[in-house]
Amino acid sequence: MSRIPTLGTENQYGEKVDKCIVDLGIKTGSGVLVGGLFSLLFKRRTWPITLGAGIGIGMSYTTCQNRFKNFINNKLESQNSAASSEEVTTTVDPAPDTPTQSEQSDSGSA
């Protein structure tokens, strides 16, 4: 049996999408369930169910948005650290702040 080669970034991205889809189902379902219970209190109106579903969708959207922002920021940080470790640093001797002896003798004679 051969193993399928893994692609690091694509697999991580796929896992984030999968978690978002599961999170969407759980939070929307919970919102509909809680909305259904509140619907019984309000003479079987549909607005509590709709409100609960909307809140669940909004919460899952925010969670997914944060997951992907963290994912992108972590990738950018790892790319920047890899690029900075590859850079060759060169040091340049700074120019002296004090004037040389010839400059001092020129200014003193004037």
- Report if residue 53 sits inside a domain: yes
- Report if residue 98 sits inside a domain: no
**Range of the structural domain that residue 66 is part of:** 12-70
Q: What is the total count of domains within the chain?
A: 1
Contact 13, 72 (CB under 8 A): no
- Report if residue 97 sits inside a domain: no
Contact 56, 29 (CB under 8 A): yes
Residues near 15 by Cβ (< 8 Å), separated by ≥ 6? Answer: none
- What pTM was estimated for this model as a whole? 0.60
- Report if residue 40 sits inside a domain: yes
Contact 36, 49 (CB under 8 A): yes
- Report if residue 16 sits inside a domain: yes
CA–CA gap between residue 26 and residue 56 (Å, rounded): 8
**102 confidence band (pLDDT: 50, 70, 90):** low
CA–CA gap between residue 26 and residue 8 (Å, rounded): 27
- Report if residue 64 sits inside a domain: yes
- Report if residue 22 sits inside a domain: yes
**pLDDT at position 91:** 57
pLDDT (tens digit, 9 = 90+) per residue, 41-96?
888 888 899 999 999 999 999 999 998 888 888 777 777 776 676 655 555 555 55
